Amino acid sequence: MLPFPRHIASFSGGVSCEVESDGPIGLTLSGRTADRPNERVSVDFSTAPPAGFPQALEDVTVAQLDPGTYRVTCADMEWMVPASAVHVHRQVAAAFYRVVVPREPGLGKRMFWSAVLALARHPMGRRLLFALRRR
């Protein structure tokens, strides 16, 4: 059994709030995380869109109070959002590429693709590429 209230996400600074009237996701909060300022996070609520929800907030915290009930708080406001599910999406590309360094393609591969792109610029070159592809 999960302990409640359960922390979902904390935002630092400005948070954009997108309310959608059609579709399964009724509310999306997007911004930078408080614990990792270079990481962007979005929290999607599977719910009917809340009435009168602002388009932007500052320093937001999202917590799950019990199954199906979430609390969205900022400095002086609080909303209770009933949702069947919450989806948290983190952009971890920066952390990934710090660990997995992309390899530089070899000279032969760079020359091959440069030649292919140069041929593709001209009609005769495109014909030649299509003819080579059919073989």
Per-residue pLDDT tens over the stretch 25-46: 989 999 998 888 778 999 999 9
Confidence of residue 52 (pLDDT cuts 50, 70, 90): confident
* Domain ranges within the chain, ordered by starting residue: 6-97, 104-134
Residue 1 binned pLDDT confidence (cut-offs 50, 70, 90): low
Q: For residue 53, which amino acid is it? A: F
Look at residues 38, 41, 39 and name the one whose alpha carbon lies nearest to residue 28: 41
- Banded pLDDT at 135 (limits 50, 70, 90): confident
pTM of the model: 0.68
Give percent of the chain above pLDDT 70: 99
pLDDT of 37: 76
- 73/71 Cα distance (integer angstroms): 6
Nearest in space to 44 (alpha carbons), one of 28, 63, 26: 28
Q: What are phi and psi of 22, to 5 degrees?
A: -120, 145
